[in-house]
Amino acid sequence: MRTDITEIARLLAARAEAVAAHLLPQGSRDGNEWRAGSVSGEPGKSLGVHLAGPKAGIWSDFADSDTGGDLLDLWRRVRGITLGEALGEAREWLGIATPKPYREPKKSYTRPQRPVCHAPQSRVLDYLREERNISGDVIARYHIGESGNDIIFPFLLPDGTLALAKRRKAEDGAKPIPTAGNCEPILFGWQAIDPNAREVILTEGEIDALSWATYGFAAMSVPFGGGGGDKQQWIENDFERMDQFERIYLSTDMDKPGEEAAIEIADRLGRHRCLRVQLPRKDANECLKQGISREEMADCLAKAVTLDPEGLRRPSEFTDEVMALFWPKDGAKLGYRTPYKKLGDDLLFRPGEVSLWSGSSGVGKSQVLSDCVVDWVDQGSRVCLCSLEMRPEESLKRMCRQVVGVRKPTEDAIRRALFWLDRGLLLYDRLGKERVKSLITVFDFARGKYGCDQFVIDSLMRLGIDSDDYVGQERAMYELVTWALARNVHVHLVAHTRKGEKDGVIQGTEDIKGTMEIGANAFNIIILWRNRKLEEQINAAKDEEERKKLEERPTVLFNVSKQRNGDFEGKIGLWFDMDSYQYQSAHDRSVWKRNYIRHDDQMEFVA
């Protein structure tokens, strides 16, 4: 990438003492400054250059209050050269080679004949001054010509060579056209720009450039108006000449083509030094004609902003969000908890995240998730469950036990449990395989119409991706994460492990079946482990005393092996109750079974 003026100035400031000694070798260090008599370089104290801190490279001559600036200004003053020449010398001194990439041979342009014209004195002068409010001084400085009733706009290179000329009728609505074909497209107005200027305004038309100049600001115009692509081909020809500007104000029209032009120019000249100007009228000349003051126009420049890529924000813009993470307002939810009190708020399922639930076959992944879903409904969540491995009625049979807390609820309790689940549960009635894109379409509808904020997919192996298609798995996970972030919802994805447990070893994230990118893209990873050996010992206990002692140990480990946005990673034990299909942590065992419909207000799931 070409090193432009902003980077050159920064690199020089970082080596301020070496630059000062190079330019003013007869000077000397005095504290935090390099001192010399003047820009001529003689010994003395009048001129001082800051050598460190935030003002590194800034200089001033106390004997002449009008002189000063940064090290590039000092370079051109000491050497008696233009800013462009100073940039070249500074690059060479810094050892920065100007890149010369391969390019097609430069186009051969035709130099137009100079139009037969004279300085405006009749219709053109009256039109520009009376109808467009352009000052006579600006008309002369930009070398505007008059040919009959035509305005002549000369596009001159800095050395005075005519690269392009355009003419237009001195009347509103007329379009300027080139006086000859195959001419070199360059900016209009180089003839009026100080060779040492470091700021410039670019407009979409010649009269707008003249208008900004009438306000007292350096301005040029693109040659072929708004829009992108070929409309801005002048950049190729003026690219090196634009090096001298560290601030480029883009004052193209306040419409779609103007915006397209601003983005194209900023992308190619550098967004860090291009600022978009917002005007109170369509363009600069409309502002001039309608009496917008110079102070108002200067304020537009002061408020111009860089065309930052979408997503770049300052820390202070997140104040409310960060404050809410530390001190959530009453009733605000940072995420949904599990039903297990030992975890409390140590594990929260937050909006815009994807959680992975894993473990070997038969450990109870779907069962624990179902227990959580019931509790999430109680917490006010609206959940959409897509179990591609189990019929909806089977899923609901298990949930009825978890809602009521008994092995075989009565018919009335079943009706009440299903009615209670209506408030916060939708089931996608589909078995077999389902592609991620079509599943997201269904989820989008559930999010939009019913306000679902959590989505469960059981399981990854049913998403129509081959077990050895790692690229497909990574793409599917990426689509789910992208969708969760865009829709501000939480997605729970069940994923199996590669192989069964061996010798009671608890499996880890590396054992999740499929590409490692599945785990890498998940925000949370929960791995469940079932202590089958302990279950066998409990079932084979010789007496009640031995059994109670064994039951003091949990048969399931709930392992939070990854939590990107939380402080807790670790394991807790869970006890499983066969009658209720509920799980409990050590902190819940005093109240063994939950019953969600005992004091239910029977609210409906309303679209």
**Which pLDDT belongs to residue 607?**
36
Contacts of 439 (CB under 8 A, 6+ apart): 386, 428, 457, 463
| Closest to 28 in 3D by CA, of 14, 15, 13, 47 | 47
Contact 15, 44 (CB under 8 A): no
- Tokens 């679902």 appear where? 452
Q: What is the pLDDT of residue 504?
A: 61
pLDDT at 36 over 80: yes
Mean pLDDT over each residue of the chain, to the nearest integer: 90
CB contact at 8 A, 46 and 63: yes
How would residue 505 be classed by pLDDT, with cut points 50, 70 and 90? low
pLDDT digits (tens, 9 = 90+) for 85-129: 999 999 999 998 655 544 445 678 999 999 999 999 999 999 999
Q: Is the pLDDT of residue 605 over 50?
A: no
In Å, how far from its chain's centre is CA 199?
28
547 in Cβ contact with 521 (< 8 Å): no
What is residue 502's predicted lDDT score, i.e. its pLDDT?
Answer: 57
pLDDT at 473 over 80: yes
Phi and psi dihedrals of 468, rounded to 5? -100, 10
pLDDT for position 433: 85
User: Which pLDDT band holds residue 295 (cuts at 50, 70, 90)?
Assistant: very high
Compute the average pLDDT of residues 490-513.
Answer: 77
CA 214/CA 343 separation, integer angstroms: 69
Using a pLDDT cut of 90, give the percent of the chain over it. 74
Cα 367 to Cα 372: distance, rounded to the nearest angstrom: 9
DSSP for 10-70 reads HHHHHTHHHHHHHH-TT-EEETTEEEESSTT--S-SSEEEE-SSTTTT-EEETTEEEEEE-
Looking at the whole model, is its pTM more than 0.85? no
Contact (CB, 8 A) for 490 and 454: yes
**What was the pLDDT predicted at 602?**
45
Domains of the chain: 5-94 (3.90.580.10), 123-306 (3.40.1360.10), 349-588 (3.40.50.300)
- The pLDDT score that the predictor gives to residue 604 is 42
| pLDDT attached to residue 315 | 86
Confidence of residue 606 (pLDDT cuts 50, 70, 90): very low
For the segment 533-569, what is each residue's pLDDT rounded down to a tens digit?
999 999 999 999 999 999 999 999 999 999 999 889 9
- For residue 205, the model assigns a pLDDT of 95
pLDDT, mean of residues 368-380: 96
Give the whole-angstrom CA distance, residue 555 versus residue 574: 6
Check whether 307 has a pLDDT greater than 80. Answer: yes
Which pLDDT does position 396 carry in this prediction? 96
